[in-house]
């Protein structure tokens, strides 16, 4: 925090569903951040872009598919110092404001990207994967929020 206020980068995390399966990505081993780890699709929100448009763009960039019923399932404030960004002039690491979405796949015909290997995984098997955060809690929180019709909010420190 700078003067007790957060400095954050906005990012999206998207869980694309098809029936009882979710589209996940095993991050490329060449990626600097979380190589080989499992996550949903997503990334940075570009300047002048709203978070919904960023989510749709990231899904197309990473998987080559469109989606229906894109829904904001939650927002998580991730504190800085996770080694994901350069130090600011203040000597601090910016945090991340993570906008978590769910969506329905328009197609299962995904296209490979440099981001990593795309996997359709049964929801019953997600707990056995090597997740970015060590477990599938973001996915499970997003699914629960969708079921209740009420987005979740959260905070994660480094």
Q: What is the pLDDT of residues 88-133, one digit of tens each?
A: 555 566 789 999 999 999 999 999 889 999 999 999 999 999 999 8
Per-residue model confidence as pLDDT tens digits over 127-137:
999 999 889 99
Predicted TM-score (pTM) of the model is 0.89
Count of domains forming the chain:
1
Residue 1 lies in a domain: no
Element of type H or E holding 9: strand 8-18
Give the whole-angstrom CA distance, residue 54 versus residue 151.
18
Residue 3 lies in a domain: no
Give the whole-angstrom CA distance, residue 53 versus residue 73.
15
- Report the CATH number that the domain containing residue 35 is assigned in CATH: 3.90.79.10
């Amino acid at each position: 925090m700078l003067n007790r206020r957060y400095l954050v980068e906005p990012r999206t995390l998207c869980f694309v569903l098809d029936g009882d399966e979710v589209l996940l990505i095993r991050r490329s081993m060449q990626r600097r951040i979380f190589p080989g780890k499992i996550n949903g699709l997503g990334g940075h929100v570009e300047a002048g872009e709203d978070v919904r448009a960023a989510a749709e763009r990231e899904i197309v960039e990473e998987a080559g598919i469109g989606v229906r019923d894109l829904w904001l399932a939650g927002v998580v404030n991730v504190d800085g110092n996770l080694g994901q960004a350069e130090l600011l002039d203040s000597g601090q690491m910016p945090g991340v404001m993570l906008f978590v979405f769910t969506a329905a796949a328009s197609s299962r015909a995904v296209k490979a990207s440099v981001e990593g290997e795309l996997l359709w995984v049964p929801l019953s098997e997600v707990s056995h994967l090597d997740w970015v955060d060590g477990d599938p809690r973001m996915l499970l929180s997003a699914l629960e929020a969708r079921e209740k019709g009420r987005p979740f909010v959260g905070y994660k420190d480094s």
